[in-house]
Amino acid sequence: MIDKTVSSLEEAVAGIHDGATVMIGGFGTAGQPAELIDALIAQGARDLTIVNNNAGNGEIGLAALLKARRVKKIICSFPRQADSQIFDALYRAGEIELELVPQGNLAARIQAAGAGLGAIFTPTGYGTLLAEGKETREIDGKHYVLEYPIHADFALIKALKGDRWGNLIYRKAARNFGPIMATAAATTIAQVSEIVPLGELDPEVIVTPGIFVQRVVAVGGAAAKAA
Amino acid sequence: MNKLTRDQMAERVARDIPEGSYVNLGIGLPTKVANYLPKDREIFLHSENGLLGMGEAPEPGEEDPELINAGKEPVTLLEGGSFFHHGDSFAMMRGGHLDYCVLGAFQVSASGDLANWHTGAPGAIPAVGGAMDLAVGAKQVFVMMEHLTKTGECKLVERCAYPVTGIGCVDRIYTDLAVIDVTPEGLVVREMVEGLSFDELQKITPVPLKLAPLAAAA
């Protein structure tokens, strides 16, 4: 019997190695897998490259991971926010590397990795600082920039419900990067509010099919026994 | 002259958004446009974090941290609205599916280059978000900004001094003094606030303007 559910957060983040590239879902704190990030901090992996839309809010979740000095580099679109003081201080001290990527290119590069593409031509960023030194091409009279896929060793994402095959559904705008990051990582780890018996998720509404998910862990005490 | 307030600017932009439009409103000043969209029009607001059919702010106490807009403020979803992931959201933006986006700006050049993401100042931490995707992707790119900076420099310029967001991407500029179209023939003034003459507007604007008012909208 295939059972991708694991019974603890510790088990969920096992094997994340020093120097790993880790995608973390979320847009600000919506969809951020805070419990998995806390488990990663406890697990101790360092020199991580993190892929996220932002660079942490306040002192929790991703910001706490940064504060614990586990992150060598962050790939994101919007680090500077009213409450990104942890990142700001590390960046100003030269203690974290930043690769700034326009948000749509971030999404497209993640999708390219998940879809097995070698690269993409994107119109976003053409002629700007963020395309400096990059190959460009004119296609049908429009200008494009060559961008490469972003692969990850691990993706940590948050979903609403999952089953033992790894099928996932999400909640509202917490979906954001979760489904595309799940496709681009060698090992995708999903925290869910509830693990439901196989067959309970309507196949017509499953957002992430289980093929993209390797581990599912329930948080918040709503873990049903995987049937 | 009757310089427009920020709310009046938002109201002016809202008048130009027709029934049935798919629209993205940028963070900051453009977000105000939502407050003035005519109630008798069905207009679909898109938010880059995966919402279409975004509604107003919720009642106090009804906020949901997983139902937010691109500025990370709580919002609601209208009946018929939908949620989707970032790949789909940016396909809507980059793929030419949005009819309008409204963006703030530091500067716009005479040829429609937009600068709105980074001052380039030493020590400034850059952040770009979805601005570059909207600039290249929406069918019509509207900019709303004050005509002059707080220190009196015009934000319409021959060439942007700040790092650009997109090249030749702006279609129309709404300032607190005028509505100006970017055309192959240059900047064309369509409207000016009451009490402002074209000569006065040209005097404070360091790029050549033409005057060609549009017929009043029905």
Q: Give the list of residues 6+ apart from residue A58 with CB closer than 8 angstroms, or none.
A: A83
What residues in A contact B131, CB-CB < 8 Å? 102
The whole-angstrom separation of Cα B92 and Cα B86 is: 10
Question: Which residue from B64, B118, B133 is facing A172, i.e. has the nearest CB?
Answer: B64
In which band, very low, low, confident or very high, does the pLDDT at B123 lie, cut at 50, 70 and 90? confident
β-bridge partners, A195: A162, A223
**Position B214 confidence tier, pLDDT thresholds 50, 70, 90:** confident
pLDDT at A213 over 50: yes
Does residue A220 register a pLDDT over 60?
Answer: yes
pLDDT confidence tier of residue A123, bands split at 50, 70 and 90: very high
Confidence of residue B1 (pLDDT cuts 50, 70, 90): confident
Contact (CB, 8 A) for A164 and A195: yes
Given pLDDT bands bounded at 50, 70 and 90, which one contains residue A225? very low
Chain position carrying tokens 């307030």: B5
Question: What number of other Cβ atoms are within 10 A of residue A201's Cβ?
Answer: 19
* Chain B residues whose beta carbon lies within 8 Å of the beta carbon of residue A177: 85-86
Nearest to B163 among A78, A124, A129 (CB): A129
CB B66 to CB A31 under 8 A? yes
Q: Distance between CA atoms of A13 and A183, rounded to whole angstroms?
A: 18
How many residues belong to chain A?
227
Decide if A88 and B166 are in contact by the 8 Å CB cutoff: no
Could you tell me the residue ranges of all domains in chain A? Answer: 9-120+151-218
List the single residue in B with minimal CA-CA distance to A110.
Answer: B87
The mean pLDDT value of chain A amounts to: 96
Q: What is the pLDDT of residues B62-93, one digit of tens each?
A: 999 999 999 999 999 999 999 999 999 999 99
Phi and psi for B118 in degrees, rounded to 5? -155, 130
Tell me which of A224 and B24 has the higher pLDDT: B24
Of B48, B90, B136, the CB nearest to A108: B90
Two tokens at A134?
């990059």
Catalytic residue status for B48: yes
Rounded CA separation B53/A136 (Å): 35
pLDDT in tens, B26-35: 998 999 999 9
- A49-66 per-position pLDDT tens digit: 999 999 999 999 999 999
ipTM greater than 0.90: yes
pLDDT bracket for residue A226 (50, 70, 90): very low
Burial B119-137 (b: 16+ CB within 10 A, else e): eeeeeebbbbbbbbbbbbb
CATH architecture of the domain A9-120+151-218 equals 3-Layer(aba) Sandwich (3.40)
Contact B107, B160 (CB under 8 A): yes
Q: Which two tokens stand for residue B103?
A: 């963006």
Rounded to two decimals, what is the model's pTM?
A: 0.96
Answer yes or no: do B68 and A102 touch at CB < 8 A.
no
